[in-house]
A and B are shown apart, each in its own frame.
Chain A
Amino acid sequence: MVGQLPYDGVVICAPVTVPYVRFSVETAHWWAGGAMQALARETGLGPADFDGFCFASFSAMPDSVVGMVQHLGLSPRWMDHIPTGGASGVMALRRAARAVQCGDAEIVACVAADTNQIDSFRQTLAGFSRFSQDATYPYGFGGPNATFAMITDNFFRKYNVSRQDFAKLCVAQRDNALSNPIALLKKPLTHDDYLNARPIADPVHLFDCVMPCAGAEAFIVTTPEKAAELGLSTARLSATIERHNAYIDDPVQTRGGWARDIDALWSAAGCGPQDVDMLQAYDDYPVIVAMQLADLGFCDKTELPGFIADNDFTITGSLPLNTNGGQLSAGQAGAAGGFQNVTEGLRQILHCPLGDQVPDAKKALISGFGLVNYDRGVCTGAAVIEPEDLR
């Protein structure tokens, strides 16, 4: 396989978050516009200044990126629509980076926005995917809770992992959320709170589940020159991977596509998992966080209980995990949930976090996981980013 070319001449900058709300009467278009407005405030740019636009959303129906471009008055020479939910941040980053590197665009706004109206969760589920409508939701209609419950059930038995182990991850994330002024869940969570939570779909309990909400996330991918001109702090993209529908013969999902490409990631990044200052992982259910810890190379799955016990996942800990609180505590604003890892990782290494700063943050590992099309998440991606110019 041909090695990945480096992302020379590309920088990432201007992470923005439109503060989440549990329910919103507004539309995805409104939230996307909010993200663009936030980018404009950071950069001073207007609609005519963006020549690239990359969009992710579940709730913009019937519009795709096409409708959104016209809705927001953009006139890009490059655009893309990313339908992969939790993997959309890494994927937007990869696509926009190559577009900028090749000169197809100079300044790309990457935007994820979703609303959460009363009942829109149920409606989104009902029409989510063909396999889901045919073969998952009619089976109890538990949504992703049920699918991940089955994955967790198997994971527990196969790797001797337990809710005790997951408790530590979720409690740490909540601790992290406490310093994030816009996290939706701000009540401290204890180990016992986690264990005593009510069951949702055994063995998934309340604090294993994210809270659906409305919100938007965005960042800019551009050239170092353009960023300098705008006076923006920048990060560079050290390495990325992406894989979809990996390990199709695994009867139950125990690993994601990361496992297949992880060596390529670390070799392109020129470092290893021990070298990163934080992990911004996709955390729709702790079983997926645990899976990422193993598949991204931190430990073997059989070592997970020990690894979790030996590490501190809070902002000042040995492996800061989802430093804004993650989706479990900050909220899951649809596809914007798949952008959070990028914006939060970016903020930490650019030293402009929403809450507390990871001390001396130099290297962030960002990992995405998206789209339970049937019985497992299909899309995975990861990226290592490092600061370039702090302004």
Chain B
Amino acid sequence: MSNSLLSDLAGALVSGRVQMVDLTNTLSPDFPVIVLPPEFGQCAPFRMEKVSRYDENGPAWYWNNISMNEHTGTHFDAPAHWVTGKDVPSNTVDAIPAREFMAPAVVIDISAESAVDPDFVVTREFLTKWEVEFGRIPPRHWIALRTDWYKRVGTADYVNMQEDGAHSPGPDASAVEFMVHERDCIGLAVETVGTDAGQAMHFNPPLPAHSILHGNGRFGLQCLTNLDKLPTFGAMIIACPLKIEGGSGSPLRVVAMIEGKNV
């Protein structure tokens, strides 16, 4: 019975004692991408061109050519994505060891705060208070920020671009420092279009999540859905980016295993 652990898991999956939650948004041409000031290069949206669909270009088969940025749709940020992570070992998606692709998650619910204040900022102080209530964030976990932001997908409120920039919740530098150095997280998983807050350009330092996470070899998961379906502790996230040579990230299917309630 050397593989009893996985046999148990297989049994639990069959019985429903372990359930899968899809944390992925549908990759479609109109799924929004991060918008940078126009003078910068832009993130290509998802595009799909039919090659054939049981027609003169392929009578019995259907397939499409697709194109997109590495950071389009529900996607994974590798450390190399940010300048701070440029010298981190194994910093591209093809080099990240496979063991990193499956990790437990702790879900921090800031949906109420975010509903009131789209610019809600998660601070170290907020996290430490949270730990008092829910318990300590364990090491080598994805820290998932539940904002219910995914419910805004398809509306202008998702990227929430105003004349002074985007408005969506995210952490400040103190929070990210805390996650990385004091709680040794795998990475930060969010429902918004970036791990950083919409206004994080104006933070000090700017874009702390990208900067600190990737500078320390941690990952990002963005544009997730269904974080409200996960328990605070105990979910297992499977997030395997495409093995793109030297890739800075990748669209991917993200799923979570949770233990069922009624079995």
A–B touch (CB < 8 A): the answer is no
